[in-house]
Structure 1
Amino acid sequence: MAALFIWLCTPGLAQTVAEAEAALVNGAPVEALDILDRLEVDPADDPLQILFIEGLAAMDAGQFQRAIRALEAMVTAAPDLTRPRLELARAYFLAGDDGNAMRQFELVTGGITDLAVLDTIEQFLAEIEARRTLWYSFSIGLAPDTNINAATDAATVDLAFIGLPFDVPADARAQSGTGLETSLGLDWRGRPDEVGGRWTAGATLFAREYSDDRFDDRLIDVTLGRQVRLSDWTLTFGPKALIRQSGGAVSERGYGLRLQGTHTPRATRQLSFSLGKDWDHNLLTDRRMARASASAGIVEALSGRTRAGVTLSLDRYHGEATTEARGVVGLTGLFYTEFADGLTVALRPRVSLAVYDQAVNGISGNRRRDITYGLPVEVSHRRLRIAGFQPYGQITWEQRDSVNPFFEYDRQRVFAGVSRRF
């Protein structure tokens, strides 16, 4: 008993947070962690300070997973503090988790005005870009859809230009179903060469399959590009190609050229643009269509956890099917926010106006005009993981109004599944 009493009273056993901090400052992170492990709880101690010291000490000691756990706990408890989130990003970086490191750096830049800190973040991001050449992502989930074929649900529509009602065949009306949706994305970026440029390539494999295989949809999309820096812009130019299979048969082949650019005039703002030309061949109708497109957008960081933006797009379709020739103008918004517990929500409202060159039936004086509205809402949680995958959900409301009621429809789509970026 006396020996036990002597051991309990040994000087240095009941050490303090201040001693752990001093050990860290003096370059002894392992000693600091040892002190924290044997720390007696004191109501006067700040639990956030303890987590912060533990995170920094664990990083310096090379115990990156422990550092991540401590700093994640601190960021969850105090999401508006900038320094802990920066250190969490650094811990992810040192652990080789570049995806989460980039995400944390991007979330925090909106609340930083210190140019030296911003320069340091840019150096981290540049090193991540330089050391990674291949990124890939995967998602899988169920996708209920109230209107798979984007068709009217009316049995009869009144066509004013012929003055008679039109009976819509049952198989031409809206069809609903639940599909299994899978997506695999690959993104390769070569290392910069002597002149600062590099080659890029990407591929997307997408499939949505239903019990009624008439509505199965599969797509392979590949891109190749040359990326260069021009003044303050990052420009990527190159070809793309796609092949689509619908209902078990190849339905579309296409190819095109794309020029894209991004510019970050300041840490909280990014500008972007895209110019493209595409040629598509619809094998089901044996018709060819060309499309010229242009878009410009801006994204602004409103805070460390909230971003908003808008994109304006213009498209011109023309080709063999003169009834499909049209111009389209679209507007897409973005509002993204992350809550304190790690829940993220993104809203992407959109509206587009399509004006066709020809009248509805070729003889009527009223040209076809469609207005399509959409509101996708995406929800995820960065702290939840299932075997390394993140739960992800999306619900989309969509509606089209047209001068020809045959082309009007309402649609609700849902995706509920998991995703992961590697």
Structure 2
Amino acid sequence: MSHARLASALLAAATLLAAGVSHAQTAPDAPPAPPRIEGLSAVQLFEAAGRADKAGDPAAAETIYRALTGDPDAEVRAEARFRLGTLYERQRRFRDAALVFRQLLDEKPGAARVRIELAAALAAIGDEGAARRELRQAQAGGLPPQVALVVNQFATALRSRKPIGASFEFGLVPDSNINRATDSATLDTIIAPLDLSRDARQTSGLGVRAAGQAYLRAPLARDLSFLPRVSGQGVLYRHSAFNDVSASAQLGLEWSPGRERIRPSAGASFRWYGGRLYARTATATIDWQHPLDGKSQLGAALTAGTTDYRLNDLQDGMLWNASIAYERAFDARSGGGVTLVGTRQTARDPGYATASGGVDLLYWREFGKTSAFVTLGGRRLEGDARLFLFPDRRREWTLSAGGGATLRALAWHGFAPLVRIEFERNWSTVGLYDYRRVAGTFGITRAF
């Protein structure tokens, strides 16, 4: 099904909703005591914009609606943004429409019709994940039965058909422990205490982080597409010995039978540390997503790979990773998720072989023009055997916590400021891996 047909189906749901549930007053005489702008009331300006639009002059209508988005009356602002967004939709300016609907929801988060319109615009630009999330939020807020039926049908049929896409994030990263190292000057070994060099101990720094990904989607059949993807990220410091850069490329398929989405892929990843190739990994992955109902979604992934550590052949081995995630919208403004993860890594030296498992919790909520989130995670790791130099087998508990916010009030061309803080504490029986870390990110990211 094409994006145009999908968006049309969802807009039909919005139209149904408009018959019984209004996001704002839509009658021309709705706002009481409408304000005057340049000698005209808001009602008169709305009428003038409507006449201009019908007369084939959408630019004049856009100018009036944009002026009214600055009106001191909240209902007038809401109506102007809604009309401006639908004007952009008719002009197929879906990214502009999404931004306007997002601004409206910042002031009226319970406006179900607007959230459905936003989902349609996001689907039209190929942002499937965000469109699904908005639908779940709309359904969590409650919908009339006939509208819920159409929305469920849209959610089932929703497929990303955008042929090419990309995302990008850039920011400054202050970090108390850029190398995740112990703060101890010496380590106990079976021979004698080992003195650590300054570079091998905890080091703080201010880095520049850049991350991005891109994909190309080529349809092969009705529900099957060829999907190559590339991604990369890096943190660079003034002291280049701590520069950490990674990149990956994958070739895969996207199969969408019924309500499912299945993505098998294979590829390779590379990591450079301090300007030198640190490791390379060849992987095969299968990813599965399944909507449980209008408010929740289940996902799972399984990865198998081989790792080649360039500086230490004793670490080389197989890598297995499995995860399962559940995500749910609690209401029109909040949601959360839980992810279970298990990892098994073999190695030529059993001292480097490990098995680990953990859980990650996520909660997000919208506060006006701010989207905030908090995370909490826990991990348990055990080594197969002790490393030669150390008296104990590696056993660890890791606790991580974080939070952040996207400030859409300062959005510019689809990007908005991002603030994030992270805390990490790793307790290990091997002093080399015992560390604590606090880091932040101050950057920009996509606004939706």
| TM-score clears 0.5 | yes
> In structure 1, what is the equivalent of residue 236 of structure 2?
209
> In structure 2, what is the equivalent of residue 220 of structure 1?
247
Root mean square deviation of aligned Cα = 3.9
Using a 3 Å threshold, how does the CA distance of structure 1 residues 93 and 261 change in structure 2: closer, same or farther? closer
Bigger radius of gyration:
1
Using a 3 Å threshold, how does the CA distance of structure 1 residues 126 and 233 change in structure 2: closer, same or farther? closer
> In structure 1, what is the equivalent of residue 26 of structure 2?
none
Residue 373 of structure 1 and its aligned partner are, at CA, apart by: 1.0
Letter of the 1:293 counterpart: N
Tell me if structure 1 keeps the 8 A contact 2:112–2:143.
no
Match of 2:105 among 58, 75, 90: 75
Match of 2:326 among 289, 298, 302: 298
Residue 420 of structure 1 and its aligned partner are, at CA, apart by: 3.3
Q: How does 1:320-399 map to 2 (within 5 A)?
A: 320-340=348-368, 342-359=369-386, 361=388, 366-386=392-412, 388-399=414-425
Tell me if structure 2 keeps the 8 A contact 1:151–1:408.
yes
> In structure 2, what is the equivalent of residue 407 of structure 1?
433
Residue 406 of structure 1 and its aligned partner are, at CA, apart by: 3.3
Tell me if structure 2 keeps the 8 A contact 1:311–1:333.
yes
Structure 1 portions without partners, runs of 5+: 1-12
Tell me if structure 2 keeps the 8 A contact 1:137–1:421.
no
Match of 1:185 among 197, 208, 213: 213
Q: How does 1:281-292 map to 2 (within 5 A)?
A: 281-287=308-314, 288-292=316-320
Tell me if structure 1 keeps the 8 A contact 2:390–2:430.
no
Cα offsets for 1:373-398 (capped at 9, x unmatched): 11132321233224543111221100
Aligned: 1:273 with 2:303: no
Letter of the 2:436 counterpart: D
SS at match of 2:75: helix
Residue 119 of structure 1 and its aligned partner are, at CA, apart by: 5.1
Residue 407 of structure 1 and its aligned partner are, at CA, apart by: 2.0
CA distance in structure 2 between the aligned counterparts of 1:373 and 1:199, rounded to whole angstroms: 39
> In structure 2, what is the equivalent of residue 5 of structure 1?
none
Structure 2 portions without partners, runs of 5+: 1-38
> In structure 2, what is the equivalent of residue 142 of structure 1?
172
Using a 3 Å threshold, how does the CA distance of structure 1 residues 113 and 386 change in structure 2: closer, same or farther? closer
Residue 353 of structure 1 and its aligned partner are, at CA, apart by: 0.4
- TM-score scaled by structure 2? 0.76
> In structure 2, what is the equivalent of residue 318 of structure 1?
346
Tell me if structure 1 keeps the 8 A contact 2:351–2:393.
no
SS at match of 2:385: strand
Residue 110 of structure 1 and its aligned partner are, at CA, apart by: 2.6
CA distance in structure 1 between the aligned counterparts of 2:209 and 2:113, rounded to whole angstroms: 39
Cα offsets for 1:333-352 (capped at 9, x unmatched): 11111112x20112221111
Residue 136 of structure 1 and its aligned partner are, at CA, apart by: 0.4
CA distance in structure 2 between the aligned counterparts of 1:357 and 1:193, rounded to whole angstroms: 46
Cα offsets for 1:298-338 (capped at 9, x unmatched): 01110122111111111111121321111101111111111
CA distance in structure 1 between the aligned counterparts of 2:64 and 2:259, rounded to whole angstroms: 49
Tell me if structure 1 keeps the 8 A contact 2:161–2:217.
no
Aligned: 1:176 with 2:228: no
Cα offsets for 1:266-312 (capped at 9, x unmatched): 01000011111011101011341211111111011101221111111
Using a 3 Å threshold, how does the CA distance of structure 1 residues 256 and 386 change in structure 2: closer, same or farther? same
Residue 53 of structure 1 and its aligned partner are, at CA, apart by: 6.7
SS at match of 2:79: helix
Tell me if structure 2 keeps the 8 A contact 1:324–1:356.
yes
- TM-score scaled by structure 1? 0.80
SS at match of 1:291: strand
Identity level (%): 24
Letter of the 1:86 counterpart: I
Letter of the 2:290 counterpart: H
Using a 3 Å threshold, how does the CA distance of structure 1 residues 324 and 254 change in structure 2: closer, same or farther? same
Residue 265 of structure 1 and its aligned partner are, at CA, apart by: 1.4
> In structure 2, what is the equivalent of residue 309 of structure 1?
337
User: Size of the alignment, in residue pairs?
Assistant: 397
> In structure 2, what is the equivalent of residue 418 of structure 1?
444
Using a 3 Å threshold, how does the CA distance of structure 1 residues 368 and 262 change in structure 2: closer, same or farther? same
CA distance in structure 1 between the aligned counterparts of 2:146 and 2:310, rounded to whole angstroms: 56
Residue 357 of structure 1 and its aligned partner are, at CA, apart by: 1.1
Cα offsets for 1:118-174 (capped at 9, x unmatched): 454467678884541211011211111111111111224556x77x75543333211
Letter of the 1:139 counterpart: E
Match of 1:258 among 261, 285, 295: 285
CA distance in structure 2 between the aligned counterparts of 1:388 and 1:315, rounded to whole angstroms: 36
CA distance in structure 2 between the aligned counterparts of 1:311 and 1:80, rounded to whole angstroms: 28
Letter of the 2:181 counterpart: A
Letter of the 2:396 counterpart: D
